[in-house]
Chain A
Amino acid sequence: MSSDDQGILWEVFIQVKAGRAYKHVGSLHAYDKEMAMKSARDLYTRRNEGNGIWIVKSEDIVSSEAIDGEAFFDPSNDKVYRHPTFYKIPDGVKHI
């Protein structure tokens, strides 16, 4: 493989409108933050898709997928009382 590379891999998150959560849209290659930000703008917001952009180095993302898959979420499986449907409310009680 040739010695020249394509730079660091970054993940891009876009906020569609003020007040909304930032959402992952994809990734890109760039050599530094400034270049990554400009490339993210050109690559992911050519049609006003974004109000804000976050970029993070891919290697800095910690993912649960890499830990131990489904077993990782076991603690939430047996706590049905965390859901509103667990509770019995007499008929006729409203707005609850």
Chain B
Amino acid sequence: MENERKLEEFQQKIDANIKIEPKDWMPEKYRQTLIRQISQHAHSEIIGMQPEGNWLTRAPSLRAKKILMAKIQDEAGHGLYLYCAAETLGVKREQFLQWLHEGKAKYSSVFNYPTLTWADMGAVGWLVDGAAIVNQVSLQGTSYGPYSRAMVKICMEESFHQRQGFEIMVQLAKGTEEQKQMAQDALNRWWWPSIMMFGPHDSESAHSNQSLKWKIKRESNDELRQRYINKTIEQGQHLGLTFPDPNLKFNEETKNYDYSPIDWDEFWNVVKGNGPGNKLRINHHIKAHEDGKWVREAAKAYSKKINLSKKIA
């Protein structure tokens, strides 16, 4: 009875667009959904540093290298904002890392694809970050205060990511025949994975309805996906490249671009851990974490030492 009343009040707050803060009452399922979603989002930012780090030492100019470094640093920052938001729900940072290492927590499957050429840095920035921005702009309006605030900050920083990616695509698409071919190949490989970033169709999505009702998500997977497709196709027309989908067509009736059916077998295969990079990404994260252990221990010992010397003085 008590819980029913609380649940009703909670829904009224959500309906009135009042943000929920860490110490407010919330249904257990709301908390669990947020823990899963925010940590998954944080892990994606952190794992997403790997495919880009792959090109850091081989960037074609000092300018490109500095930009890529700044972008990767931003991704680390975004991961940290999100871990902090997730921690306000009562789970410790160490626990999130453990769940990631044990395979209990997921991250965006798109980062399991390899970055084979420099053009992939362009395609990742333009398409993968472009898709992420569509999702994140929408999530600025999420009902959980700390998550919403993290999204606002991330969105402010993220637009440079997409623009630098598009700039790489422009340079290559307007370059030599070989460079143009490289850009086309990157578009061919990244287009479908970027579309799949929005998750299953609304009719197949396990968590969607409740999440929309609680305003954890503000728009459905298919709505966000369509928005991304519409704006990206128009951007792509400036490149003179061809999207790898013969059925892309503007639909006068719906004012949207129609597209071919998505290969969901491929999507689920990668989600379940059979993608080209799943093992590589997690093993690398575990190794980096373990290699950093002595640094954490030294920092901890140092903090004890300075505390102690203050007490003596």
Contacts and interface: CB of A to CB of B under 8 A. Distances in A.
A39 to B, nearest CB: 9
Contacts of A5: 94, 296, 300
Interface stretch (A24-32, A71-79, A81-89): A24-32
A26 B81 contact: yes
Contacts of A7: 296, 299-300, 303
B23 A66 contact: yes
A59 interface: no
Interface string A12-36: 0000000000000111111110010
Contacts of B77: 42-43, 46
A28 B299 contact: no
B23 A32 contact: no
Contact of A31 (B21, B81, B93, B300): B300
A6 B93 contact: yes
A60 interface: no
B302 interface: yes
Contacts of B95: 1
Contact of A32 (B85, B150, B157, B306): B306
A11 to B, nearest CB: 9
Contacts of A32: 299, 302-303, 306-307
Interface in B287-313: 293, 296-297, 299-300, 302-303, 306-307
Nearest to A65: B23
Given A1-B98, A63-B23, A6 B299 contact: no
Contacts of A4: 94, 293, 296-297
Given A46-B73, A66-B23, A2 B80 contact: no
Contacts of A28: 80, 84
A3 to B, nearest CB: 9
A43 B297 CA distance: 22
A2 B98 contact: yes
Contacts of A42: 73, 77
A9 interface: yes
B24 interface: yes
A43 B94 CA distance: 19
A45 to B, nearest CB: 11
Given A28-B80, A66-B23, A6 B296 contact: yes
A42 B306 CA distance: 23
A6 B93 CA distance: 7
B44 to A, nearest CB: 18
Interface string B51-94: 00000000000000000000001100100110011010000111
Contacts of B22: 65
A95 interface: no
Shortest Cβ-Cβ A-B pairs, 8 listed = A32-B303, A65-B23, A31-B299, A31-B303, A27-B84, A6-B93, A31-B300, A26-B84
Interface of A: 1-2, 4-7, 9, 25-32, 35, 42-43, 46-47, 63, 65-66
18 contacts: A1-B95, A1-B98, A5-B300, A6-B92, A6-B93, A7-B300, A26-B84, A26-B149, A26-B150, A31-B296, A31-B299, A31-B302, A32-B303, A42-B77, A43-B80, A43-B81, A65-B23, A66-B23
